[in-house]
Amino acid sequence: MRKKFFIYGILLFIITAFVYYYFKVGFLLLIALPILLVVGIYNTLQHKHAILRNFPVLGYFRYLFEMIAPEIQQYFIERSTDGKPFSRNQRSLVYQRAKNIDSNTPFGTQNNLNVANYEGIKHSIFPAQVNEELPRVLVGGADCKQPYSASLFNISAMSFGSLSENAVKSLNIGAHKGNFYQNTGEGGLTEFHLQGGDITWQIGTGYFGCRTPEGNFDPEKFREKANFAQVKMIEIKLSQGAKPGHGGVLPAAKNTEQIAKIRGVEPHTLILSPPWHTAFSNAKGLIHFIKQLRELSNGKPIGFKLCIGNTAEFEDICNEMINENCYPDFITVDGAEGGTGAAPLEFSDGVGMPFEPALIFVNKTLIDLNIRDKIRIIGSGKIISGYSILHAIALGADMCNSARGFMFSLGCIQALRCHNNQCPTGVATQDKMLMKGLVITDKSERVYHFHKNTLHAANELLAAAGKKSFADVDISIFMRGDEFAQLSDLYFPDNLSKVTKTH
Express each pLDDT in 328-337 by its tens digit: 999 999 988 8
Express each pLDDT in 338-372 by its tens digit: 777 667 778 877 788 999 999 999 999 999 999 99
In the structure, what pLDDT confidence band is assigned to residue 493 with cuts at 50, 70 and 90?
Answer: low
Checking if the pLDDT of 489 tops 80, the result is no
Mean pLDDT throughout 153-169? 93
Question: What is the location of CATH 3.20.20.70 in the chain?
Answer: 121-481
Mean pLDDT throughout 126-146? 95
Checking if the pLDDT of 483 tops 80, the result is no
Q: For the chain, give the percent of residues with pLDDT over 70.
A: 94
CA atoms of 265 and 256, how far apart (whole Å): 10
Q: For the chain, give the percent of residues with pLDDT over 90.
A: 52
Give the model's pLDDT for residue 500.
Answer: 44
In the structure, what pLDDT confidence band is assigned to residue 499 with cuts at 50, 70 and 90?
Answer: very low
Give the model's pLDDT for residue 484.
Answer: 60
CA atoms of 12 and 231, how far apart (whole Å): 70
In the structure, what pLDDT confidence band is assigned to residue 486 with cuts at 50, 70 and 90?
Answer: low
Cβ atoms < 10 Å from Cβ of 21? 10
Mean pLDDT throughout 130-148? 96
Q: Which residue has the higher pLDDT, 318 or 93?
A: 318
Express each pLDDT in 423-481 by its tens digit: 888 998 888 889 888 999 999 999 999 999 999 999 999 999 999 999 999 988 888 87
In the structure, what pLDDT confidence band is assigned to residue 502 with cuts at 50, 70 and 90?
Answer: very low
In the structure, what pLDDT confidence band is assigned to residue 388 with cuts at 50, 70 and 90?
Answer: very high
Tell me the pairing of strands 330-334 and 376-380.
parallel
CA atoms of 490 and 410, how far apart (whole Å): 43
CA atoms of 103 and 99, how far apart (whole Å): 10
Q: Quick check: pTM over 0.85?
A: no
Checking if the pLDDT of 247 tops 90, the result is no
Q: Name the E strands within 74-156.
A: 119-121, 136-139, 148-151, 153-155
Express each pLDDT in 43-82 by its tens digit: 888 888 888 888 889 888 888 887 777 777 776 777 777 7
Mean pLDDT throughout 105-129? 83
Hey, CA dihedral for 409, 411, 415, 419, is it positive or negative? negative
Mean pLDDT throughout 373-385? 94
Q: Is 365 left (phi over 0), alpha (psi -120 to 50) or beta?
A: alpha
Q: Are 201 and 173 in contact (CB under 8 A)?
A: no
Q: Are 170 and 98 in contact (CB under 8 A)?
A: no
**100-104, 250-254, 462-466: which has the minimum mean pLDDT?**
250-254
Checking if the pLDDT of 109 tops 90, the result is no
Average pLDDT, the chain: 88
Which residues are registered as beta bridge partners of 332?
305, 378
Mean pLDDT throughout 105-115? 76
Express each pLDDT in 279-293 by its tens digit: 999 999 999 999 999
Q: At what angle do helices 440-464 and 88-98 cross, to 10 degrees?
A: 110
Give the model's pLDDT for residue 327.
Answer: 98
CA atoms of 306 and 159, how far apart (whole Å): 17
Mean pLDDT throughout 179-196? 94
3-state SS, residue 84: coil
Give the model's pLDDT for residue 494.
Answer: 53
Give the list of residues 6+ apart from residue 259 with CB closer than 8 angstroms, or none.
160, 161, 187, 250, 267, 430
Fold of 121-481: TIM Barrel (3.20.20)
Mean pLDDT throughout 13-21? 85
